[in-house]
Amino acid sequence: MKLGIWTPLPHTIRSEPAMEAAIQNAGRRGGDPNADAGLDFATQVVCKAEQYGFAITLVAERYLGPDLEAWMLAAALAARTKTIQIMPAIHPGMVTPQVVAKMGATLDRISGGRCAVNVVNGWWKDEFELFGNGAWLDDESERYKRMEEFVRVLRGMWTEDGFSFGGKYYNVEGADLPTKPQQVPCPPIYAASRSDAGKDVIAKYCDTWFLSYGSDPAQFEANIDGMARDIEDMRRRSAACKRQVKCGISAHVVCADTQEEAQARVDDLVAYGKLGRIPFIAVNGLGAGLFGTPEVIAERMRRLDSIGIDVVMLKFSPMLAQLDKFGSEVLPLLRDVSGEFRKIA
């Protein structure tokens, strides 16, 4: 099992002073020409995670918000890091897969082979209408059809010369991508879906599936049982395609000196998440049960490892303070789970 971390963005973490400064900075014209508060905060968190041995960071995309654009931020982070994989998100319908193939190959080159892509179908109609120039599809089955074509074209552009594809949403005729990815055969493709149609697309064409689970922090046992069933289901689907898709989850970690203190913080996060969809997204992942003392968190991570979770994409609140507590107190207990984890230099 490898560790990932969410790059802190306004819609991915609970509001805290560093993020508030970034939001205020992004929302006004002008400002300090030598620094951007959002980039500074993201760099601090991702570089600290890299020092702790985290393997990958997810740079989520949110067009309708004060977030820095994911691919631009990913490129900036690639220049500021050395080993961590950089995974920007992309919404089919916003940008063509041909353009993403070029951007992904470029990011893979400038990062020394550290690019991955997270394909997200998206849910916010207003974003697609504005930034996708009216690209929203009401029919969910059509959104998955577009996602399938998107991934097939993306992978084909990366791996084939003279690639051709004829679909409903995308068409390519004898294309050669001038800039080739450094990774062979291509940068890994991550995706999430709860629907059978989406899972089938992932089983056929993607490399890692982010599975969903219940949001209730008190239902760890039920949630982990559900994860185990879903992992077996994805293994069957991908095996039928003669492939082996990895499985990952997103999880919110709350590390404290006592279980009671951790529970109080969890209750506060749950209350915050009820304020709306964006706050819910910011604190989502508590159902993975990674809250409590370092010993409890480490044991539950071992449970996740034992059922076949290949990557856990973590977020913290507040980001830096809790990342440090996790890195210094939980990671030393996980040497038996992965040799990738190491103490901070």
Task: Render pLDDT for 288-322 as a digit per residue (tens, 0 to 9).
Answer: 999 999 999 999 999 999 999 999 999 999 999 99
For residue 309, is it within any domain? Answer: yes
DSSP H helices in 160-248: 196-205, 220-240
List, in sequence order, every beta strand (DSSP E) within 240-340.
246-255, 291-292, 311-316
For residue 285, is it within any domain? Answer: yes
For residue 163, is it within any domain? Answer: yes
For residue 342, is it within any domain? Answer: no
| Band of residue 337 on the pLDDT scale cut at 50, 70, 90 | low
Q: What is the domain range of residue 98?
A: 2-13+42-334
Task: Render pLDDT for 3-31 as a digit per residue (tens, 0 to 9).
Answer: 999 999 988 888 888 888 888 888 888 87
Task: Render pLDDT for 204-259 as a digit per residue (tens, 0 to 9).
Answer: 999 999 999 999 999 999 999 999 999 999 999 999 999 999 999 999 999 999 99
Which pLDDT score is estimated for 306? 95
Q: Which amino acid is at 103?
A: M
Pairing assessment for the beta strands 163-166 and 171-175 based on DSSP bridges: antiparallel
For residue 23, is it within any domain? Answer: no
List, in sequence order, every beta strand (DSSP E) within the chain.
2-6, 56-59, 85-90, 117-119, 163-166, 171-175, 189-192, 208-210, 246-255, 291-292, 311-316
For residue 36, is it within any domain? Answer: no
Which pLDDT score is estimated for 147? 95
What is the dihedral angle through the alpha carbons of 143, 149, 151, 155, rounded to the nearest 10 degrees?
-170
For residue 274, is it within any domain? Answer: yes
CATH code (residue 91):
3.20.20.30
SS3 165: strand
SS3 258: coil
Q: Domain tally for the chain?
A: 1
For residue 24, is it within any domain? Answer: no
SS3 193: coil
